[in-house]
Amino acid sequence: MLTLYLATGGALDRRPHQPGETLPDNAVWLDMLHPTPEEDKAVEACVGVAVPTEEDMQEIEASSRLYFEDGARYMTASVLAGVKSDKPGLVNVGFILAGNRLITVRRGEPRSVELYIQRVCKQQDAPQTGEAILLGLLEAIIDRTADILERAGSDIDMVSHRIFARPEKGIRQKKDYMAILRTIGRKGDLLSMARESLVSLSRMVGFLSVDAGGQKVSKQASAQLSVMRRDAESLRDHTSYLGDKITFLLDATVGMVTIEQNDLVKLFSVVAVILMPPTLIASTYGMNFEYMPELSHPWGYPIALIAMLLSAVVPYLIFRLKRWL
């Protein structure tokens, strides 16, 4: 789907492109979502630049993602998408800055781009050039990534509380460590994708800041790019901090599971030790010998029961005294 954004009277008018329609001269932003071959040809014929394919946008080398060709800047950034779903991921978004026009190529729908479109189409003083729209898009993507990291940090704090919270007095709470481990794993994956996205955005901001092919950004745009570069770097540092915290929580959770397993094994061992003396006494009096003095004694049976009880209580009291239980 090809959507045109026309600069008219200080605003941006959104209009879907009709097959066979000639692209108007005041179309400053051409947004291509899952473009068809016909749409690719229409954009190439109008702007005079080649639209990168999906395979081109999946390349990880910086030279394949950021380059200057035919008087246009080609840039590809990985953007977080589907964060609120069970399967978040990265969507490669291509940006082509050709003169006064911006072409975006998307094969996914990142929420940050959709939010920017909704906001900019309501403004009466919307950006009127491709460069200004590109800068606004980058700011929106970085801001959205910051919001995602803030929520991830809050979720990680909640997980930390679940792991280390002291149970109420007299109440033994059973923790679902499998659910905790799954949450830690999901947040770890999200942080890894966020860091990858921020790295690609930082490279793209740096690429826009330098002169290429005799083209350079304005002073105002240069100042905006400097702020975005600092924001992206600070978010990368924060992502590293959250990643370290995730690693710590993972180690702590595994340690908690090990401690609970050791406590369970210790309990079984103590119970076995406590039951050994009564078992020994019962086994002794279960022998079928003819001459056993206690068998004919009138108090033999109560004495055997008392002996078994004492042989179980005494080890239990010793374990409690030594704080083994």
Identify the three-state secondary structure at position 16. strand
Q: What percent of the chain has pLDDT over 90?
A: 4
Q: Per-residue pLDDT tens for 168-177?
A: 665 556 677 8
CA distance 94 to 245: 33
The confidence band for 289, taking pLDDT boundaries of 50, 70 and 90, is low
pLDDT above 80 for 19:
no
Domains plus CATH for the chain? Answer: 2-259 (3.30.460.20), 263-321 (no CATH)
Mean pLDDT of 64-81: 83
**CA triplet 185, 189, 195: central angle to 5 degrees?**
145
The reported pLDDT for the residue numbered 295 is 64
Mean pLDDT of 27-40: 81
Mean pLDDT of 56-77: 78
Lowest mean pLDDT among 36-50, 90-104, 111-125: 36-50
Q: Per-residue pLDDT tens for 41-63?
A: 877 777 777 777 777 777 777 67
Distances (CA, A) of 112 to 140, 241, 248: 6, 24, 30
Q: Are 325 and 284 in contact (CB under 8 A)?
A: no
pLDDT above 60 for 214:
no
Task: Pick 119 or 280 by higher pLDDT.
Answer: 119
pTM for this predicted structure: 0.76
The reported pLDDT for the residue numbered 124 is 78
The reported pLDDT for the residue numbered 165 is 77
Mean pLDDT of 290-301: 66
Mean pLDDT of 113-124: 82
CA distance 45 to 98: 13
Q: Are 39 and 47 in contact (CB under 8 A)?
A: no
- Both tokens assigned to 289: 């010998």
Q: Per-residue pLDDT tens for 142-162?
A: 999 899 999 989 988 988 888
The reported pLDDT for the residue numbered 73 is 85
Beta strands in the chain (DSSP E): 2-8, 11-16, 27-33, 66-69, 72-81, 89-98, 101-106
Average pLDDT, the chain: 80
Q: What percent of the chain has pLDDT over 70?
A: 87
CA distance 43 to 227: 32
